Each structure stands twice: as C-alpha cells, then as structure tokens.
Amino acid sequence: MLTSHCLCTRLRRASRAVSHRYDEALADLGLNVAQYSLLRHIERLDRPSITGLAEATGLDRSTLGRNLKVLEGADLVTLGEGADLRHRLVALSETGRQRLAQALPRWRTAQARVAERLGEDHDTLMRLLATLERLD
C-alpha cells in the first residue's frame, strides 16, 4: 500500500479497516456494520420518519431509502404511514429486534477489540472524530 499524506485517503483506509472488523463480527447474522448502525438508530429513535432518520444518520434520503429496502426485504424493518402521506415511519420488526439483540454482544466485542488496539489513544481519537464530524 502506498503511503499517503492525504488526510481524506488515510481516514478512508482507516474506516475500511475498522469497518471490516465489525463486519466480520456481524457476518454470521447476515448484517454488516452499516446495517447494524441503521437498526440501532431506528431502535433508539423509536419509529422515526425517514427524514428524521436521514438527519440522525447523516445519510441522504435516497441512500437511506436503498438501505431501508434491503432491511425491509430481510424482514428487519417495516415502513408505515406517518401523520400524513408525505411522512413514512420506520420501525423494527420482531425479527429486527431479535437480530439486533443477537448482534449487540458481537458489536460490543468488536468495539472492545478496536478500543484495546488503540489503547490510551482511544479517547484522543474519539475527540478528534467529534471535531471532524462538525467540519461543516
């Protein structure tokens, strides 16, 4: 792999490497880390609208819509009508709740392994990432 001084390139490489660890932990459940994260957001927001979920996840509506179709096809979420026809609500299905419960210990193990690998730099990295998330 070529060394790069580009911050964006290095962040993307690091993101792929970390995501791979989480994906491995979740693979036998048929989930990847992006799907797990989306399910957790839906759980925490408790039947969010698609717009609210897009804002919470930082995804645009079209990307979110594609991801939700995959989760709906796997019977992990349901899409229903909201207060009016313009707003659709997203909810975890019973299968989605069960899969999320199965995934949580695997996610925690992956999280602990990555944090352990970072050692005392973990807290510093979390602060730097919070700063980068607010670059707008």
Q: Summarize pLDDT for 65-96 with one digit per residue, the tens.
A: 999 999 999 999 999 887 665 678 999 999 99
Q: Domain 20-107 carries which CATH code? A: 1.10.10.10
Angstrom distance (rounded) from CA 92 to CA 121 = 35
Burial label, 135 (beta-carbon count in 10 A; 0-12, 13-18, 19+): exposed
Residue spans of the domains in the chain: they are 20-107
The predicted model scores a pTM of: 0.89
Mean pLDDT calculated for residue range 24-42? 97
Angstrom distance (rounded) from CA 29 to CA 1 = 31
Q: Other C-beta atoms within 10 Å of 16: how many?
A: 10
Asked if residue 45 lies in contact with residue 56, where contact means CB atoms within 8 angstroms, the answer is yes
Angstrom distance (rounded) from CA 75 to CA 78 = 7
Q: Is the pLDDT assigned to residue 23 strictly greater than 70?
A: yes
